[in-house]
Amino acid sequence: MNPYTNYDEISREKWQNLYKSSIAPLTSEELESIRSLNDEISLQDVQDVYLPLVHLLRLYKKNLEDMSFSKGLFLQKIVKTPPLIIGISGSVAVGKSTTARLVQLLLSRAFKKLTVELVTTDGFLYPNQVLSDQNLLDRKGFPESYDMERLLNFLYQIKNGEDCEIPIYSHEVYDIVPNQMQQIVNPDILIVEGINVLQSPESQMLYFSDFYDFSIYVDADEKLIEQWFLERFDSLLNLAQQDPSNFYHQFTKMPKNEVMGIARKTWAEVNQVNLHQYIEPTKTRAEIILHKTDNHHIDKIYLKKF
């Protein structure tokens, strides 16, 4: 069965005409500040792809407000509009972090009086010591390496209007940062980004998808994603040259061909397997799929029909 049967395929040219704006509401410098390592994005991408996407998200926000108002009339009491929760998923190195930060910035400009927060599911990874004790360090990034119950409870608390704090993950030290927490206080809109955003915890009565009002999957050909992963790995090595505390510093003392061999092995034995078994199968749970080609150029958008 065609996985896109329940989607309308929309070319970039058609998509950009669905919402017209005279100017992108940010500068090149602002765009550069949110761009992830080795990702490519331009103001033209903002104009063509992301402004129509944000306009669509405004419709979902309005629909959520209208439903809360109607429910309040039915129950004969005031029903507070819950936060709009947006999930953003996709493979490692596909550029979903840049998408998440850009959507956050654009929504903050679109809803100037509302609070737009962003969290990554990396914060719900078990600390390295816990993973090591459970012989899961080689499975880091796979579903069992995350505290899925904690993530599920976090989403429940946010929808319920509760303030939360979550752990902070550092890619530089490759671990949860001790004694530091991210405070999430009564957001109007919450963006949740991560490879496992659309996955489901085992043996639960609730699923992550129960809490998302809108979800995005960033997609690309697997060979391209592998190329971007290797390019990012190389860039991380360069950044870690003078920083002994950086996880990648250990690799800077090794011959380049040997290090890149480790990177290719990591892709083949970890990230590719994770993509095939757990990430890509969740793609069609997303409301919208942003498809990328060379240089992270978005050429097609798939919008779920129902």
Name the residue with tokens 């078994």: 277
Owner of token pair 């100037």? 112
Give the Å distances, CA to CA, from 205 to 73, 201, 219.
29, 9, 29
**How many C-beta atoms lie closer than 10 Å to residue 98's C-beta?**
22
Establish whether 72 is an annotated binding residue: no
The answer on whether 93 is annotated among ligand-binding residues is yes
d(CA 89, CA 286): 8
209 is in an annotated binding site: no
Positive or negative, the CA dihedral 262, 263, 267, 271 is: positive
User: Annotation-wise, does 42 bind a ligand?
Assistant: no
**Residue located via tokens 């039915």:** 74
Q: Is the dihedral of CA 204, 205, 211, 213 positive or negative?
A: positive
94 marked as part of a ligand binding site: yes
* DSSP string covering 202-258: TT-SS-GGGT-SEEEEEEE-HHHHHHHHHHHHHHHHHHTTT-TTSGGGGGGGS-HHH
Residue type, 257: N
Buried b / exposed e along 248-269 (16+ C-beta atoms within 10 A)? bbebbeeeeeebbeebeeebee
Q: Is 97 annotated as a binding residue?
A: yes
**281, two tokens:** 């199968």
Annotated binding site for ATP: 90-97
Annotated binding site: 90-97
